[in-house]
């Protein structure tokens, strides 16, 4: 950038985004104009933000920039800082934000009450951006809450019904609890260093106990927002009820900003990690990765399934971060670099394909008018473009080559294989177990997305609305096409992601320079010594040659054969009834029965009519979310009891109050007498 430093420009852009929210209110009387203005301006500002952040990140000459503004706590001011880590996340917010804004312009066209979303949308984007630039406690927490509350308002703005209200209420509670934990973490660091500014935290060496407490509180605080099990309960309820482009931003980007908080504190602020921090994240990540998909498998709501799969991916990222912390704690810098790149790459990849899938889901929901996948089917032939993009997203999220999801999970596996170098027994034994969990979660993801794509886009329509569905317009398809293209390009040429991620790695782990250094355009090489490599270009090239070769051979050999269309054979017993197809529930049945017992108390009851009776047999499945019943329902009950007791105290007579005050005075006097 010539003249204006990048940080100043980015701050102005964020302020501009905040201002766009006011534009929405000012144009409230003209909803159509307001919609175009808000989404158009948001898209432009986000694109500019991504551009500036990208230039900053790719320019080797750029240096960390700081800015002090006369706002915030008196005598402290507001501190902003731009470094490669924040630039990477700003790129993510800007890029995905711009695409979601373009999509939102078309998607929101049929919205009857656009003003329930419009003013909060740009503020949400600005809040997320400000989190990454914050360099003191006050600005960080302010931005964090801005992001939480703006997204909460948009969850609330989705529809006027009980489910939405419930989801929004739960979200607000969990967001407040998470922020409380973060306040605790920052308070510990502030009291130790007697400052609110991050730069003093960096210079400070915290005592082991304080640092550990800070990490635990940050894992809780950031984890509540990112969706670590068991703090995930709000996520699959709140993300789906918002409009689809907002769901995409919440699932694809906001969970990543939560992880940014964890990375900022864990790798930058508290100093050298201890070994067990990594272990904590490994365990949390492994459980989160598997549990998220087990939940996803039994959902019949399209967007809810996607939200649960977000939880799985957050788990994979947590595993990568945990490994990086563990390797760093024991001085294995190069392996730490590989693990950190794996986590950051998965952050980038998940942001891309989860946004893509939510945008695709939005198109499907708009075309069919329902979120229930049991009423869909056969949409692949009616919405071919949406289906193609959703297909790419599904393959990518199932961690299959040649798409980007595979690259980051492959790197995670490579880092896990390095776990043998750890000097601690527990961690060394934990890595293969975690690897098995990651493999299980990858296979479950493939199953969940075969189920999702198969039930929604393949087969025959299960509902007249699905049979009438039409593909959406270019305004919605365009952003999806760009995201799908990015998924493919990053899968074939991972170097494209690596050039952005390596500056971040060097910043956070300065001694990890050798990690992935041997990679080039053709191949990805995590560690030069091991000889393991991945080359997307060659794989895809050979695959294309072989596939086309097979096509040619068939063409030549089957020259005279012709292609006919006919009814499905189905072993000679075809049924015209579309409900005879395998449904989403029946597809999930084997896995529900085999693995579902872990998280659900599942009861499958089949009631057969007595012999001779013509009544239908009844198959009833009841699901109990054990976590909800065991933890949250009890917690809610406890709070309720407390409130009842407090209410009783409120209704006491004046005599009782006087007695309490007298007793309290006596007790205080006694305390003074004893201590004096």
Partner 1 sequence: MTLFSLALDVAHVGLTVAVAPLLTGWVRWVKARLTLRRGPSPFQPYRDLRRLLRKDIVLADSVSWVFIATPFVLFAIMALAACLVPTFTPSLALAPTSDLITLVALLGLARFMLALAGMDAGTSFGGLGSSREMLIATLAEPAMLMVVFSVALMAHTTALPNVALFVLAHPPVFHISLVLALSALVLVALAENARIPIDNPTTHLELTMVHEAMILEYTGPHLALIEAAAMIKLTLYVALIACLFAPWGMATDLSDARVVALGIGTYLGKLAVAGTALAVFETGIAKMRVFRYPEFLGTALLMGLLAIVFLYVNQVVS
> Which of 2, 562, 617, 644 is the binder for partner 1 (CB under 8 A)?
562
Give the interface segment with partner 1, choosing from 198-206, 239-247, 322-330, 553-561 (CB under 8 A): 553-561
Indicate the residue among 351 and 527 with the shorter CB distance to partner 1: 527
Indicate the residue among 224 and 395 with the shorter CB distance to partner 1: 395
Q: Smallest gap, in angstroms, from Cβ of residue 38 to partner 1?
A: 37
Helices (H), 458-494: 464-467, 474-492
Strands (E), 471-554: none
State which of positions 322-341 bind partner 1 (CB under 8 A): none
Does residue 447 bind partner 1 (CB under 8 A)?
yes
Helix or strand (DSSP H, E) at 133:
helix 120-133
State which of positions 416-435 bind partner 1 (CB under 8 A): 417, 420, 428-429, 432-433, 435
Q: Are 364 and 356 in contact (CB under 8 A)?
A: no
Give the interface segment with partner 1, choosing from 4-12, 64-72, 521-529, 602-610 (CB under 8 A): 521-529
Site string for partner 1, 40-79 (x = CB under 8 A): ----------------------------------------
Does residue 598 bind partner 1 (CB under 8 A)?
no
Q: What is the DSSP letter of 610?
A: P
142 vs 124, 146, 259, 573, CA distance in Å? 12, 6, 17, 64
Return the half-sphere exposure (C-beta side, CA atoms, 13 A cut-off) of residue 32.
1
Residue 19, φ and ψ in degrees, nearest 5: -65, -30
The Cα–Cα gap between 14 and 559 comes to: 62
Cis peptide before 93 (omega within 30 of 0): no
Give the interface segment with partner 1, choosing from 305-313, 496-504, 507-515, 560-568 (CB under 8 A): 560-568
Q: Smallest gap, in angstroms, from Cβ of residue 285 to partner 1?
A: 16
Residue 618, φ and ψ in degrees, nearest 5: -120, 130
> What SS3 state is found at 292?
helix
Q: What is the DSSP letter of 493?
A: -
Does residue 470 bind partner 1 (CB under 8 A)?
no
31 vs 522, 551, 577, 607, CA distance in Å? 50, 53, 44, 55
> Which of 387, 469, 515, 599 is the binder for partner 1 (CB under 8 A)?
387
Cis peptide before 612 (omega within 30 of 0): no
Helix or strand (DSSP H, E) at 225:
helix 208-226
Does residue 401 bind partner 1 (CB under 8 A)?
yes
Give the interface segment with partner 1, choosing from 343-351, 376-384, 598-606, 644-652 (CB under 8 A): 376-384
The Cα–Cα gap between 65 and 582 comes to: 57
Structure tokens at 224: 């509540």
Helices (H), 266-301: 275-297
Does residue 535 bind partner 1 (CB under 8 A)?
yes
Does residue 391 bind partner 1 (CB under 8 A)?
yes
Give the interface segment with partner 1, choosing from 180-188, 414-422, 483-491, 619-627 (CB under 8 A): 414-422
> Which of 593, 629, 641, 656 is the binder for partner 1 (CB under 8 A)?
593
Does residue 642 bind partner 1 (CB under 8 A)?
no
Structure tokens at 17: 């985004």
Does residue 585 bind partner 1 (CB under 8 A)?
no
Structure tokens at 29: 């009387």
> Which of 4, 25, 202, 381 is the binder for partner 1 (CB under 8 A)?
381
Structure tokens at 139: 């600005």
Give the interface segment with partner 1, choosing from 62-70, 152-160, 193-201, 578-586 (CB under 8 A): 578-586
Give the interface segment with partner 1, choosing from 55-63, 318-326, 588-596, 659-667 (CB under 8 A): 588-596
Site string for partner 1, 234-273 (x = CB under 8 A): ----------------------------------------
Does residue 543 bind partner 1 (CB under 8 A)?
yes
Does residue 413 bind partner 1 (CB under 8 A)?
yes
Q: Smallest gap, in angstroms, from Cβ of residue 332 to partner 1?
A: 15
Does residue 514 bind partner 1 (CB under 8 A)?
no
Residue 611, φ and ψ in degrees, nearest 5: -55, 135
Q: Smallest gap, in angstroms, from Cβ of residue 642 to partner 1?
A: 43
Give the interface segment with partner 1, choosing from 39-47, 85-93, 190-198, 568-576 (CB under 8 A): 568-576
Query: b/e for 193-232, b at 16 or more Cβ within 10 A?
Result: bebbbbebbeebebeeebbbbbbebbbbbbbbbbbbbebb
The Cα–Cα gap between 51 and 45 comes to: 10
Give the interface segment with partner 1, choosing from 128-136, 234-242, 340-348, 372-380 (CB under 8 A): 372-380
Does residue 138 bind partner 1 (CB under 8 A)?
no
Does residue 22 bind partner 1 (CB under 8 A)?
no
The Cα–Cα gap between 665 and 169 comes to: 40
Three-state SS annotation for 107-159: HHHHCCCHHHCCCHHHHHHHHHHHHHHECEHHHHHHHHHHHHHHHHHHHHCCC
Indicate the residue among 423 and 609 with the shorter CB distance to partner 1: 423
13 vs 19, 48, 123, CA distance in Å? 10, 8, 12
> What SS3 state is found at 213?
helix
Does residue 591 bind partner 1 (CB under 8 A)?
yes
Q: Are 308 and 293 in contact (CB under 8 A)?
A: yes
Is the dihedral angle over the CA atoms 225, 227, 229, 231 positive or is it negative? positive
Residue 301, φ and ψ in degrees, nearest 5: -95, 125
> Which of 141, 533, 627, 631 is the binder for partner 1 (CB under 8 A)?
533
Does residue 443 bind partner 1 (CB under 8 A)?
yes
> Which of 75, 570, 616, 653 is the binder for partner 1 (CB under 8 A)?
570
Give the interface segment with partner 1, choosing from 3-11, 407-415, 503-511, 661-669 (CB under 8 A): 407-415
Give the interface segment with partner 1, choosing from 82-90, 211-219, 261-269, 525-533 (CB under 8 A): 525-533
Q: Are 409 and 316 in contact (CB under 8 A)?
A: yes
Does residue 580 bind partner 1 (CB under 8 A)?
yes
> Which of 162, 207, 567, 611 is the binder for partner 1 (CB under 8 A)?
567
Q: Give how many residues touch partner 1 by CB under 8 A.
A: 91
Indicate the residue among 207 and 531 with the shorter CB distance to partner 1: 531
């Amino acid at each position: 950038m010539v003249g204006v430093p990048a940080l100043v420009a980015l701050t102005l852009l964020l302020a501009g985004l905040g201002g766009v929210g006011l534009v929405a209110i000012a144009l409230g009387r003209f909803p159509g104009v307001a919609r175009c203005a808000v989404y158009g301006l948001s898209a432009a500002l986000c694109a500019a933000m991504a551009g500036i952040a990208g230039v900053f990140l790719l320019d080797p000459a750029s240096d960390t920039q700081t800015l002090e503004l006369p706002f915030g706590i008196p005598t402290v001011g507001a501190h902003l800082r731009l470094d490669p880590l924040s630039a990477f996340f700003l790129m993510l917010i800007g890029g995905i934000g711009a695409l979601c804004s373009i999509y939102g312009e078309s998607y929101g066209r049929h919205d009857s009450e656009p003003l329930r979303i419009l003013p909060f949308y740009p503020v949400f984007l600005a809040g997320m951006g400000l989190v990454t630039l914050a360099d003191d406690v006050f600005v960080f927490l302010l931005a964090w809450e801005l992001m939480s509350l703006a997204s909460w308002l948009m969850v609330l703005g989705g529809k006027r019904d009980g489910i939405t209200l419930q989801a929004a209420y739960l979200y607000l509670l969990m967001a407040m609890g998470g922020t409380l934990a973060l306040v605790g973490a920052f308070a510990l660091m502030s009291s130790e260093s007697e400052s609110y500014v991050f730069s003093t935290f960096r210079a400070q060496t915290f005592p082991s106990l304080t640092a550990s407490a800070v990490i635990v509180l940050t894992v809780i605080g950031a984890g509540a927002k990112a969706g670590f099990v068991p703090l995930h309960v709000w996520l699959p309820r709140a993300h789906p009820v918002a409009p689809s482009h907002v769901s995409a931003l919440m699932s694809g980007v906001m969970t990543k900003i939560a992880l940014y908080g964890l990375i900022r504190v864990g790798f930058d602020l508290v100093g050298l990690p201890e070994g067990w921090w990594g272990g904590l994240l490994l365990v949390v990540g492994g459980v989160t990765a598997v549990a998220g998909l087990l939940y996803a498998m039994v959902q019949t709501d399209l967007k809810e399934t996607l939200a649960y799969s977000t939880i799985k991916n957050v788990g994979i990222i947590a595993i990568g971060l945990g490994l990086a912390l563990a390797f760093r704690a024991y001085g294995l810098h190069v392996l730490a670099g590989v693990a950190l790149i794996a986590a950051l790459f998965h952050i980038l990849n998940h942001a891309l394909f989860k946004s893509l899938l939510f945008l695709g889901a939005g198109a499907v929901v708009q075309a069919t008018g329902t979120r229930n996948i049991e009423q869909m089917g056969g949409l692949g032939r009616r919405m071919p473009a949406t289906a193609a993009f959703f297909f790419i997203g599904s393959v990518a999220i199932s961690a299959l080559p040649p798409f980007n999801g595979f690259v980051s999970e492959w790197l995670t596996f490579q880092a896990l294989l390095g776990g043998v170098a750890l000097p601690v027994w527990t961690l060394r034994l934990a890595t293969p177990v975690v690897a098995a969990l990651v493999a299980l979660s990858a296979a479950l993801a493939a199953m969940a997305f075969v189920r999702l794509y198969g039930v929604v886009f393949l087969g025959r329509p299960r509902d007249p609305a699905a049979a009438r569905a039409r593909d959406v317009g270019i305004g919605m398809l365009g952003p999806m096409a760009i995201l799908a293209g990015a998924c493919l390009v990053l899968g074939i040429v991972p170097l494209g992601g690596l050039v952005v991620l390596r500056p971040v790695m060097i910043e956070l782990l300065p001694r990890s320079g050798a990690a992935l250094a041997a990679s080039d355009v053709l191949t990805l090489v995590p560690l030069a010594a091991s000889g393991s490599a991945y080359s997307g270009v060659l794989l895809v090239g050979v695959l294309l040659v072989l596939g086309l070769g097979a096509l040619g051979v068939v063409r030549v050999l089957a020259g005279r054969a012709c292609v006919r269309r006919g009814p499905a054979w189905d072993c000679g017993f075809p049924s015209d009834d579309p409900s005879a197809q395998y449904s989403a529930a029946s597809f999930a049945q084997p896995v529900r029965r085999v693995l579902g017992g872990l998280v659900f108390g599942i009861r499958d009851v089949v009631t057969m009519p007595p012999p001779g009776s013509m009544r239908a047999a009844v198959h009833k499945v009841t699901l109990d979310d054990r976590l909800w019943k065991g933890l949250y329902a009890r917690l809610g009950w406890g709070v309720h009891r407390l409130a009842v007791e407090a209410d009783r105290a409120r209704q006491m007579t004046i005599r009782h109050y006087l007695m309490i005050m007298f007793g309290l005075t006596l007790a205080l006097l006694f305390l003074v007498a004893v201590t004096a």
